[in-house]
Amino acid sequence: MENLNLIETFSEFKELKSIDRATMISVLEDVFRNMLQKMFGTDENFDVIINIDKGDFEIWRNREVVADGEVEDPNLQIPLSEAKKIDDDYEVGEDVTDEVKFIDFGRRAILALRQNLTARIMDLEKSNIYAKYRDKIGEIVAGEVYQVWKREILVLDEEGNELIIPKTEQIPSDYFRKGDSIRAVVVKVEMRNNNPLIVLSRTSPVFLERLFELEVPEIFDGLITIKKIVRVPGERAKVAVESYDERIDPVGACVGMKGSRIHGIVRELKNENIDVINFTNNIQLYISRALSPAKIVSMKLDEENRRADVYLKPNEVSLAIGKGGLNIRLASQLTEYEIDVYRENEEEDDEDVKLDEFADEIESWIIDELKAIGCDTAKSVLELTVEDLVKRTDLEEETIAEVLKILKAEFE
């Protein structure tokens, strides 16, 4: 009965697909040899044969035949009379090999070996889980919610391994029940009290980045790069993207036709509002884009102290700040500039002309570029120097000079 239990333990061990064949044989042999050393003082004269396919094992002992009455070590030597019981042809000086049956060693020995084997199996399982998930840090994993507690959620992966999502790593509006499918990114893997602790997160910017990689093939293929992500989980996120291929519009590719690509990400993040903007090294233009949907009138930069004073029309200020200051806070984090917003108190100039009225003389994409920095009228453009316009837009100096010439002619 005890030998049967040992075989069952061996069979359980054999079923662990995550353990390679060589490691399996090595550990099993090591466990058996440790027990042989404890019982006989040495294991050097034993052959341990592991049968992986059958989930079985054999142990054979090699002993030298000596004359009756001359046995000094029963483990290493066998008297001639006893050897002849095995085979009548044995003579003094020859080697005898006979099979060792664990059932003959008693219940305690078999129980100790079973416990040792079980402990080694568990240790190997834990080490393999740790190694597997250590290599998955930063990757999305899927699982099934097994238990929901006040401070964390217990998730089981497809192999039944336990993963944890602490409350702090859950989106505030997340609501899961036992049996629900869940996706999250692996953020931390460590051994705690000799057990692997795998922590997942749904609030990490890395989770959002991986979702974009899944939804946008151009990002996965490296045609579009995510430069930076900032987010308040469940509320709002800003994603700066850049394309090294001029034929690809990075924002359009990320959003998809009629928002088809970004809608899946928004749903996964419980309707988190995601702003995707074009990255640029032109810091004024970058700040303008980061404050979207607000339109900027003018800006003063203090590059040394990384501060930006932004001036907007009164009705644009609330858009720039956002609900609870969310928009301006995320824009500051994205650009790494401290942004202050001011109202532009100039009274409306009756003589000013909207840029749209120059559509016959100025190409629409140039007008859109000027509008992107808050210049909606002719005078708002003329108030800026050529240097400022070059800095804040992606327009060439020659293009800006031509535009200024057209606008100045309107007031002459």
Reading the block at residue 51, the tokens are: 């049968």
pLDDT of residue 374: 63
The helix/strand/coil state of 190 is strand
Task: Give the CATH class of 281-346.
Answer: alpha beta
Return d(Cα 99, Cα 79) in angstroms, integer: 17
Non-local (6+) Cβ contacts of 174 within 8 A are 202, 234, 270
Task: Tell how strand 338-343 and strand 307-312 pair up.
Answer: parallel
pLDDT of residue 56: 67
Reading the block at residue 190, the tokens are: 């460590």
Pinpoint the residues of the chain covered by CATH 3.30.1480.
2-132
For residue range 346-376, list pLDDT tens digits in order.
544 556 788 888 888 888 888 888 876 667 7
Q: Is 19 left (phi over 0), alpha (psi -120 to 50) or beta?
A: beta
Number of neighbours of residue 289 by Cβ within 10 angstroms? 23
Non-local (6+) Cβ contacts of 166 within 8 A are 151, 152, 199
Return d(Cα 169, Cα 147) in angstroms, integer: 16
pLDDT of residue 8: 57
Distances (CA, A) of 105 to 40, 240, 309, 339: 11, 70, 85, 79
For residue range 248-264, list pLDDT tens digits in order.
999 999 998 888 899 99
pLDDT of residue 396: 87
Tell me 61's DSSP state: E
Return d(Cα 152, Cα 106) in angstroms, integer: 47
Bridge partners (DSSP) listed for residue 239 = 229, 276
Reading the block at residue 327, the tokens are: 């928009």
pLDDT of residue 15: 57
Q: Give me the count of residues in the chain.
A: 412
pLDDT of residue 78: 83
Q: Give the CATH fold of the 136-201 domain.
A: OB fold (Dihydrolipoamide Acetyltransferase, E2P) (2.40.50)
Question: C-alpha 166: how far from its chain's center?
Answer: 16
N- to C-terminal Cα separation, the chain: 108
pLDDT of residue 4: 45
Return d(Cα 300, Cα 310) in angstroms, integer: 7
pLDDT of residue 85: 79
Return d(Cα 407, Cα 184) in angstroms, integer: 53
Pinpoint the residues of the chain covered by CATH 2.40.50.140.
136-201
**Residue by residue, what is the 3-state secondary structure of 129-160?**
HHHHHHCCCCCEEEEEEEEECCCEEEEECCCC
Q: Which helix (H) or strand (E) holds 310?
A: strand 307-312
Reading the block at residue 119, the tokens are: 């402990």
Residue 254: burial class (beta carbons within 10 Å; 0-12, 13-18, 19+) = buried
pLDDT of residue 347: 47
Pinpoint the residues of the chain covered by CATH 3.30.300.20.
281-346
* Edge-first strand listing for the sheet containing 296-302: 296-302, 307-312, 338-343
Architecture of domain 355-411: Orthogonal Bundle (1.10)
| From the candidate CATH numbers 1.10.10, 1.10.443, 3.30.1480, 3.30.70, the one assigned to the domain spanning 2-132 | 3.30.1480
pLDDT of residue 62: 87
Reading the block at residue 313, the tokens are: 């029309």
Pinpoint the residues of the chain covered by CATH 1.10.150.
355-411
Task: Tell how strand 273-278 and strand 236-243 pair up.
Answer: parallel
pTM: 0.65
Non-local (6+) Cβ contacts of 165 within 8 A are 152, 153, 155, 182, 184, 199, 200, 201, 202
pLDDT tens for the 412 residues of the chain, in order: 344 445 555 555 555 545 666 777 777 778 778 878 877 778 888 888 777 666 667 788 888 888 887 888 878 888 888 888 787 777 888 888 877 776 666 777 777 777 777 787 788 888 888 999 999 999 999 999 999 999 999 999 988 899 999 999 999 999 999 999 999 999 999 998 888 999 999 999 999 999 999 999 999 999 999 999 999 999 999 999 999 888 899 999 999 888 889 999 999 999 999 999 999 999 999 999 999 888 888 888 988 999 999 988 877 877 888 887 889 999 999 999 999 887 775 544 556 788 888 888 888 888 888 876 667 778 878 888 888 788 777 788 889 889 898 888 887 6
Tell me 344's DSSP state: -
Q: Which helix (H) or strand (E) holds 268?
A: helix 260-268
pLDDT of residue 186: 96
